[in-house]
């Protein structure tokens, strides 16, 4: 069982930056592929970024590529999402997720563990 807790959300103007952090309860977080998803009101949960166990590979949604960076520190059981050049369309609740699958999957149904989410609001 892995518990995930996100933090770092807030209100920011367009063009600004935020850094989200996800802390995992498991000491073996290094055994999980980690990802960030987001969900806007009335919309489906959307893939944002994923990172492999060793952080050797990452995968990004086209809409955030070149603006967002996912990283992890297995010693600290954390996964971060650095978000730059934020746009109003980035407004959503951002969720951290974990899976024991090896691939950088984009489907939320393939992730087993989820955090409660943190709200990100970007004003125009």
pLDDT value for 28: 73
Structure tokens at 86: 């934020």
pLDDT value for 25: 87
Q: Residue range 107-117: average pLDDT?
A: 96
Q: What angle do CA 111, 12, 77 make, to 5 degrees?
A: 35
**Quick check: 59 and 50 in contact, CB under 8 A?**
yes
pLDDT value for 90: 98
Q: Residue range 3-32: average pLDDT?
A: 93
Structure tokens at 25: 């309860």
The residue count for the chain: 124
Q: Which of 67, 68, 32 is nearest to 52 (CA)?
A: 32
pLDDT value for 56: 93
């Amino acid at each position: 069982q892995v518990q995930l807790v996100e933090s770092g959300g807030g209100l920011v103007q367009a063009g600004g930056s935020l850094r989200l952090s996800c802390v995992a309860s498991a000491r073996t977080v290094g055994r999980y592929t980690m990802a960030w998803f987001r969900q806007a009101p009335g919309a489906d949960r959307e893939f944002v970024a994923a990172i492999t166990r060793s952080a050797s590979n990452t995968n990004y949604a086209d809409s955030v590529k070149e603006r967002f960076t996912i990283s992890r520190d297995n010693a600290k059981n954390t996964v971060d999402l650095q978000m730059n050049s934020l746009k109003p369309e980035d407004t959503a609740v951002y969720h951290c997720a974990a899976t024991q699958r090896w691939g950088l999957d984009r489907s939320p149904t393939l992730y087993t563990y989820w955090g409660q989410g943190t709200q990100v609001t970007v004003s125009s």
